[in-house]
């Protein structure tokens, strides 16, 4: 239960005390339940709750667990949560569908009876739930590491806080992103007081593994067309406008530019965009999930274009044969 205590405290930001369930309570329960679960009692936000930890040699049956947890709840008149050391994502989904309280230390805390549902992709960075896709911030780190291979400043040489400062993320966002990469077995974390990252594979392997596991996301959130480019703002070419710089693809009539989402929403709020719409315009603004300018950074490239790997991900689903051929050129040139 030490691992569970630590996880609850780090995730919820509170101190908890967990004690074995008293004999007077255990005597109210059928023998098969006490043989299946280690039972403890705690209090979360002034509500008593029983933690039923599945014993190590027991296999999880969602149907049986639902009935057994209901028996505990009925007998003791308290909320009940099942504690699992490890459980596949599809079983976690089934537990959620049935509204069953559960805790998987370091992965997920789902307590609908307490209106709590904490997962790695939007809450505390300590919860490392494996996701089908990388977080945009995690993908940013991965691509930065790959494309900046020749720079003297290396991600692996600096602690988390320095990485956050360099990449213009908050320390929490960087920790969350690194946890996401770690859980997907792409890197390791070393150090105690100051933590450092070590990627598990060389750069080409990292890219190939992430591709094979379908972890990488399209950096483009959406595309908005405008009739004029805002003044005093520097934008990188993207999509077909960038492909013509990296490959043999002929120039595109439509001009594409990448813009980070907070920058775009700031322009939108200031009403400086001329005729913004989702259909047509002189310029196509691709709103990105991470900052294309920061990602390019100090690359030895004088072209005002987005990085080649994010570009690849943004157009890889195109059915245009010319684009497909251009993407093959990008892979040959930039995946080492």
Q: Are 311 and 235 in contact (CB under 8 A)?
A: no
Q: Which of 29-38, 84-93, 194-203, 325-334 has the highest mean pLDDT?
A: 194-203
Give the range among 118-127, 152-161, 217-226 with minimum mean pLDDT: 118-127
Residue 152: is its pLDDT beyond 90? no
φ, ψ for residue 38 (rounded to 5)? Answer: -90, 120
**φ, ψ of residue 311 in degrees (nearest 5):** -60, -45
Q: At 227, is the pLDDT very low, low, confident or very high (cuts 50, 70, 90)?
A: very high
Candidate ranges 3-12, 55-64, 258-267; pick with highest mean pLDDT: 258-267
For residue 231, the model assigns a pLDDT of 87
Residues 101, 209: Cα–Cα separation, whole Å = 34
Reported confidence tier of residue 77, pLDDT bands at 50, 70, 90: very high
Mean residue pLDDT of the chain comes to: 87
CB 222 within 8 A of CB 316: no
pLDDT of residue 58: 60
326 vs 158: which has the higher pLDDT: 158
CATH 1.10.10.10 domain extents, the chain: 136-212
Q: Is the Cβ–Cβ distance between 239 and 315 less than 8 Å? A: yes
Tell me the per-residue pLDDT of 104-150, one tens digit each, with 9 for 90 and over. 888 888 888 877 777 643 334 334 444 568 989 999 999 999 999 88
Q: Which fold has domain 136-212?
A: Arc Repressor Mutant, subunit A (1.10.10)
In terms of average pLDDT, the best of 57-61, 129-133, 210-214, 244-248 is 210-214
Q: Where in the chain is the domain with CATH 3.40.1350?
A: 2-119
Whether the pLDDT of residue 10 is over 80: the answer is no
**To which H or E segment does residue 11 belong?**
helix 2-12
CA 301 vs CA 109, 233, 245, 279: distances in Å: 45, 19, 11, 32
Closest residue by Cα to residue 199 from 213, 208, 186, 181: 186
CATH number of this structure's domain 2-119: 3.40.1350
Query: Of 21-35, 53-67, 167-181, 250-264, which range is least confident?
Result: 53-67
- CA dist 249 and 244 (Å) reads 5
Of the pLDDT bands very low, low, confident and very high (cuts 50, 70, 90), residue 86 is: confident
């Amino acid at each position: 239960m030490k691992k569970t205590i630590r996880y609850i405290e780090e995730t919820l930001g509170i101190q908890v005390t967990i004690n074995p369930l008293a004999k007077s309570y255990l005597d109210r329960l059928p023998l098969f339940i006490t043989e299946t679960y280690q039972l403890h009692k705690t209090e979360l936000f002034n509500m008593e709750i029983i933690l039923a930890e599945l014993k190590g040699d027991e296999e999880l049956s969602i149907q049986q667990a639902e009935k057994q947890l209901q028996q505990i709840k009925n007998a003791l008149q308290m909320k009940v949560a099942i504690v699992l050391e490890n459980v596949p994502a599809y079983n976690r989904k089934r537990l959620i569908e049935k509204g069953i309280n559960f805790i998987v230390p370091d992965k997920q805390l789902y307590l609908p009876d307490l209106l709590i549902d904490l997962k790695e992709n939007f809450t505390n960075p300590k919860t490392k739930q494996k996701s089908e896709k990388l977080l945009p911030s995690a993908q940013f780190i991965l691509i930065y590491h790959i494309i900046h291979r020749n720079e003297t400043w290396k991600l692996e040489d600096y602690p988390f806080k320095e990485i956050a400062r360099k990449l213009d993320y908050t320390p929490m966002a960087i920790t969350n992103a690194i946890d996401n990469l770690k859980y997907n077995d792409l890197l390791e974390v070393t150090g105690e007081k100051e933590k450092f990252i070590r990627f598990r594979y060389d750069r080409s392997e990292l890219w190939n593994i992430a591709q094979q596991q379908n972890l990488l996301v399209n950096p483009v959130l959406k595309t908005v067309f405008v009739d004029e480019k805002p003044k005093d703002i520097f934008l990188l070419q993207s999509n077909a406008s960038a492909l013509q710089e990296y490959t043999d693809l002929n120039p595109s009539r439509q001009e594409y530019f990448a813009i980070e989402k907070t920058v775009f929403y700031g322009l939108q709020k200031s009403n400086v965009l001329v005729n913004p719409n989702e259909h047509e315009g002189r310029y196509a603004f691709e709103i990105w999930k991470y900052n294309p300018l920061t990602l390019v950074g100090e690359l030895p490239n004088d072209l005002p274009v987005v990085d080649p790997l994010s570009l690849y991900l943004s157009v890889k689903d195109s059915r245009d044969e010319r684009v497909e051929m251009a993407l093959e050129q990008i892979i040959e040139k930039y995946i080492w």
